[in-house]
Structure formats: C-alpha cells, structure tokens
A and B are shown apart, each in its own frame.
Chain A
C-alpha cells in the first residue's frame, strides 16, 4: 500500500494550469525522483503535499489519511512530513543548534536537554557537531543545506520532501549533501525528490517520474526512463539534459 497517494489533482495559478489530473504514488521506504523542465510543477507538488500550497481539486493521502481540503490540521501534517528547500531557509538569527531544536521544543514539546542531545547526535552524524554554535552565515552552502536536512530530520518525519536541494550549491559542495540523502535512502527513509541531478536520480531512485504539462507524463525505473524513454517529450527533455552535459 502506498504511503503517499496523489489522486487526480488539479491546480491553477491564475491562468496557468499547474496540475491537470496528476496521479502519483510513493511506496513506503521508496525513493521517487521528480524530473522535468523548470516550471512543470515539481516544487509546487512538494509544497502541496506539505500543505504549503492548496490544490483546487483531487486529493492527496498520506498513510490513508486525506491531507488536502478543508479541516486538515496542516501543523500536524507537517510534523510527519519534512521538507527541505532549494535555498536552505535556515533561520539566520539562530545558531545551527537553535535552528535544529526549535521545532522539536516548540511543536513536539521536548525538553531542551533532550532536544539538544538528539540534535547533537544528528549533527555528529553529518560531521557538523563543531558548527553547532555557529550562525548559518558562517557556514558554506553545502553545510547550510546539511543543517537544513538535519533540522527536518529532527522532527522524526515519516516522509522527506527534497526540493532541488543542490541547485543553489557550488558544484564541489553537491556531493556532501547527496551523501546524506544516499544514507537516508539506505536506511529506508521514504523520500520524494525534485531534482536536476540526473546521475544521482538514476542511482538512488526506485522510480523516476517525468512531469510535463500538469501530469506525470511518463514514469518508470531509472533504466526505463534514462535507458529507453517511450514518450517523445521525455526523449526531448533528456536530450537537452545530455546536451548540457548533465547526464
């Protein structure tokens, strides 16, 4: 049974039809990558799952619970669904440790000592325990993004949504962030990624979804999508990626 079920969702931004009957399923412990041209709605889809955007029609279910539409406790939803943004969005007025413990303390009502203990364990895992008391501005982009991932993990989410988390990084910093995602995948974290890192998608994803014109235009295993795409648009998109030297 799928952990995330997206059924026939529609959404418009003014005149622009972002989703036009989009369907998607993510199994538990599965890593799914969303690819597609910019503006195709990859980020919007992740934001809808997290309740940061509303959909016009259709429904999204997580663990069989409907999480869209009126009456949904979005704060409760977000406790279980972590999201990491392209631009990190760390809180610049707080230290790394304060960034990580804020939500566990205020939302999960953990004691400071307990929250800090868990935060330090997570920071140690990503090798940033020595930066616990630094402010985000003193960290490199890769370090900031790793902290942002830990901040989401500190809530103990069931699902992680990663929204082009390496797009704002210098190339040499990308791998340190992807290594964490790789580890999470090995541990069985359910993840939905919007990404332009095709090589990485091919490596970690169980399923690749090519988004185009408001629907999942084509989906399949990495071998199917990258090896033998069936649809014309998918082939055109992948050719552009290859021409740009990104695959």
Chain B
C-alpha cells in the first residue's frame, strides 16, 4: 500500500502493483461453471413438452373428427405442427448438451478460453430451449381449454357458422358504435380542452371557474360511466324538458360519454399544458401576447404533442364504452349480438363483437405512433 503523496490532495491510492503478492487475487480467470446440469434439464423438459404436444394433437384430431373436420389434409397439418413442436425446443436443448460436453473436454486439455466460451454458449442454448418449452406449454393449455368437454368452449365462443351468418348484422349494428364514438371524440377534444383551460384560469378572478372545473372533473371521473349513461339516457326524457327530451338515444349516449370521457381528457390536457416550462409562457407574454393567445399559439400546441399517447388511451376506452349504450336499449353491435346469442343459445356473435372492438384499436395505435414519429423527425435534430 502506498502512502499519500505529500502536497497532493488525493488520499492513498491502491494499485495492483503496490499490493503484496497473494494478498488479493483476480477471480475472473477461473474455470467456468459446469453447464451440463442445465442442459440435461432442458432436454428432459423438452422431451416432456414434446410428448404432451403429441398427446394434445391426438385429442385435437379426435375432437375435430366429431364435428366432421377430418381427412388427409387435416392429418397432414397436425403432423406438420407436431414435427415443429418436436423440433422447436429439442434442437437448442440437444445443442446445449453437445456444447456442455465440448466445454468439459476443453477443460480436461487445459484450454480454459474454449471451455468458457462453450459453457456460455451451452447455457444460452439451454435458456432458449426452456423459453420455447414455456411458451409451448401455454399454447397447449389454450388448445386443451378449447377442445375440453367435446369442444364445448370452441362451440360456445367460436361457433363459426353462426359467426359467419350473423356477421353482417353485427357489422351494421357496429355503425351505431362508430357513430357514437366519432362524434363523442370530437366533442371530447374540444370539451376536455375547455375544462383544462378553465382549471388553469389565472388569478383571483379565475378562482370560481377553477373550483367549478375541478368539481366537474372530480364528479364525472368518480361516476361509473354505465350509471351516467343510464341516468342521462332514461332521466332526460322523463324531465320533459323541451328540445332535450326529444333527442335520440344515441344523442344521450354521446352526451353521457362526452361528459365522462371529457373529465379524463381534461386531466390529460392539463398534464400536457403543465409539462411545458413556464419560460415558454414568459417568452410568449414578453412579446405582448395575451394569456389566452399564449395558450393558443405557444403552450397548447406544445402540450398536445406531449399527450397524444394518453389521449389515444382515453379514446380507445371511450370507443369500448360505447357498448354501454345497451343499458338504454340502443341496438348497437353488443346489444345486437346479445339478441342473436339468446336466440341461438350461443355466444359466438358476442365474440364477433369482441373481435371487432379489438381489431379497430390496432390501426389507431400504429397510426398514432407514426404520426408522433413524423412530427418528431420534423422538429427535433438528430432523431431519425
């Protein structure tokens, strides 16, 4: 150990050379841990998964035969699937064993570097094999669930003839959902921004407006959407108020969903506006722009860019909430599918609705991602 050098502010510094030999050792150069145990486990688990796959495929073949789906083509598909199931996890598992053996062989001849590299490669192959097995087992469980009890699950949820026959009817009813959420989304964009700006009204004069806006957000964020739809959809016609009572059921749904979703979106907007540094407001005001002009041209355009992903979240949840209109009797896709389901004592039409809702969200998510990316490329330096 060296002592501190006088005149230098640094304390004693330990260096490898300054230590007495044998006082401390460098351990990273030792022999590798033996990877063969892990390799063996992955082979065994892989073999078990393969057997389970074949057993399940046999069950599947029997089940399909009971609904008349059988023949050479089906068998060929099942065999092909079975072979893939065998090959997938077993290849890396067997590779892991081979590498483990090469590793121990290198170790016996004293080739430490090769031994270490082979051992690492073996462990990596084992982990690939185990990962494949895990996902294979999850898929097997799903298949078992679908074919259990003579295909009961499949027939209840995925009865293809009924899905095919009812598809157009449901698609037509889905128009109601689209109509409601399209109009509600436009209203929510405007209404949410208005509430957010009200919540940020400056000075003592803005205080009552701030309080009312806060109360609105608390109220409609806390109120279950289904209760809100019910209250407005049935309540307003009962009040007998002129004009309002004569609106269509869809209009009540739009109103209710705008009020609920507007409360969430107002908070999203507020987060976006508050995320813009105050110096931007100072710069805008220093040029003579009024508070509202500064919001309109400087703060909100920047804030909105920050909140597009959470805004899409709110929109998707609004789209799904359009299914709630069934409580006030609108014949939307969900309500239509319930009618079909009770007529046929089978839920497959409802599954169709589920699939449609799921499918429409995906292009929106991709579209928004692309939009954000394009905007970023335009404005930011160094982003590709």
Query: Which stretch of A59-67, A100-108, A124-132, A215-223 is in the interface?
Result: A100-108
Is B342 interfacial (CB-CB < 8 Å)? Answer: no
Beta-carbon contact of B305 and A93 below 8 Å? yes
Beta-carbon contact of A107 and B287 below 8 Å? yes
Is B279 interfacial (CB-CB < 8 Å)? Answer: yes
Is B380 interfacial (CB-CB < 8 Å)? Answer: yes
Interface residues of A in 76-126 (CB under 8 A from B): 76, 78-79, 82-83, 85, 87, 89-93, 102-103, 106-107
Interface residues of B in 364-384 (CB under 8 A from A): 378-381
Beta-carbon contact of B381 and A50 below 8 Å? no
Complex contacts, A155 vs chain B, CB 8 Å:
287-288
Query: Chain A's nearest CB lies how many Å from the CB of B299?
Result: 10
Beta-carbon contact of B289 and A89 below 8 Å? no
Beta-carbon contact of B279 and A87 below 8 Å? yes
Is B286 interfacial (CB-CB < 8 Å)? Answer: yes
Complex contacts, B293 vs chain A, CB 8 Å:
106-107
Complex contacts, B286 vs chain A, CB 8 Å:
50, 52, 78, 82-83, 85, 152
Of all chain A residues, which has the CB nearest B301?
A93
Of all chain B residues, which has the CB nearest A83?
B286
Residue in B298, B378, B381 whose CB lies within 8 Å of A91: B298
State A107–B288 Cα separation when bound (angstroms).
Answer: 6
Given contact pairs A85-B282, A89-B283, A137 touches B380 in the complex (Cβ within 8 A): yes
Complex contacts, A106 vs chain B, CB 8 Å:
289, 293, 297
Interface flags for B292-330 (1: CB within 8 Å of A; 0: not) read: 010001100110010000000000000000000000000
Query: Chain A's nearest CB lies how many Å from the CB of B257?
Result: 30
State A221–B302 Cα separation when bound (angstroms).
Answer: 45
Complex contacts, A240 vs chain B, CB 8 Å:
none
State A91–B286 Cα separation when bound (angstroms).
Answer: 13
State A90–B287 Cα separation when bound (angstroms).
Answer: 12
State A155–B284 Cα separation when bound (angstroms).
Answer: 12
Is A75 interfacial (CB-CB < 8 Å)? Answer: yes
Is A233 interfacial (CB-CB < 8 Å)? Answer: no
Beta-carbon contact of B280 and A91 below 8 Å? yes
Complex contacts, B283 vs chain A, CB 8 Å:
85, 89-91
Is A10 interfacial (CB-CB < 8 Å)? Answer: no
Complex contacts, A196 vs chain B, CB 8 Å:
none
State A216–B49 Cα separation when bound (angstroms).
Answer: 84
Interface flags for A14-30 (1: CB within 8 Å of B; 0: not) read: 00000000000000000
State A152–B293 Cα separation when bound (angstroms).
Answer: 17
State A74–B287 Cα separation when bound (angstroms).
Answer: 10
Of all chain B residues, which has the CB nearest A87?
B279
Is A11 interfacial (CB-CB < 8 Å)? Answer: no
Beta-carbon contact of B289 and A107 below 8 Å? yes
Complex contacts, B275 vs chain A, CB 8 Å:
none
Complex contacts, A76 vs chain B, CB 8 Å:
288
Complex contacts, B378 vs chain A, CB 8 Å:
135
Is B248 interfacial (CB-CB < 8 Å)? Answer: no
Is A207 interfacial (CB-CB < 8 Å)? Answer: no
Residue in A47, A87, A137 whose CB lies within 8 Å of B379: A137
Residue in A82, A93, A103, A137 whose CB lies within 8 Å of B289: A103
State A73–B302 Cα separation when bound (angstroms).
Answer: 27
Residue in B285, B302, B305, B381 whose CB lies within 8 Å of A78: B285
State A89–B294 Cα separation when bound (angstroms).
Answer: 13
Beta-carbon contact of B287 and A89 below 8 Å? no
Complex contacts, B381 vs chain A, CB 8 Å:
135, 137-138
Of all chain B residues, which has the CB nearest A88?
B283
Complex contacts, A137 vs chain B, CB 8 Å:
379-381
Complex contacts, A135 vs chain B, CB 8 Å:
378-381
Of all chain A residues, which has the CB nearest B304?
A93
Residue in B288, B289, B297, B302 whose CB lies within 8 Å of A92: B302
State A191–B302 Cα separation when bound (angstroms).
Answer: 31
Is A151 interfacial (CB-CB < 8 Å)? Answer: yes
Complex contacts, B302 vs chain A, CB 8 Å:
91-93
Of all chain A residues, which has the CB nearest B298?
A91
Residue in A89, A93, A103 whose CB lies within 8 Å of B279: A89
Residue in A75, A90, A93, A138 whose CB lies within 8 Å of B288: A75
State A135–B376 Cα separation when bound (angstroms).
Answer: 11
Interface flags for B198-226 (1: CB within 8 Å of A; 0: not) read: 00000000000000000000000000000
Beta-carbon contact of A151 and B280 below 8 Å? no
Of all chain A residues, which has the CB nearest B375?
A93
State A79–B279 Cα separation when bound (angstroms).
Answer: 18
Top 8 nearest A-B pairs by Cβ distance? Answer: A89-B283, A103-B287, A107-B288, A79-B288, A78-B288, A137-B381, A138-B381, A83-B286
Residues of A within 8 A of B (CB): 47, 50, 52, 74-76, 78-79, 82-83, 85, 87, 89-93, 102-103, 106-107, 135, 137-138, 151-152, 155
A-B contact pairs, 25 of them (CB 8 A): A52-B282, A52-B285, A75-B290, A78-B285, A85-B279, A85-B283, A89-B280, A89-B283, A91-B280, A91-B297, A91-B302, A93-B302, A93-B305, A102-B287, A103-B289, A106-B289, A106-B293, A107-B289, A107-B293, A135-B380, A137-B379, A137-B380, A138-B381, A151-B287, A152-B287
Residues of B within 8 A of A (CB): 279-280, 282-290, 293, 297-298, 301-302, 305, 378-381
Q: A93-B305, A138-B381 are in contact. List 11 more A-B contacts (CB 8 A).
A: A52-B285, A75-B290, A87-B279, A91-B280, A91-B298, A93-B302, A103-B287, A106-B297, A107-B287, A152-B286, A155-B287
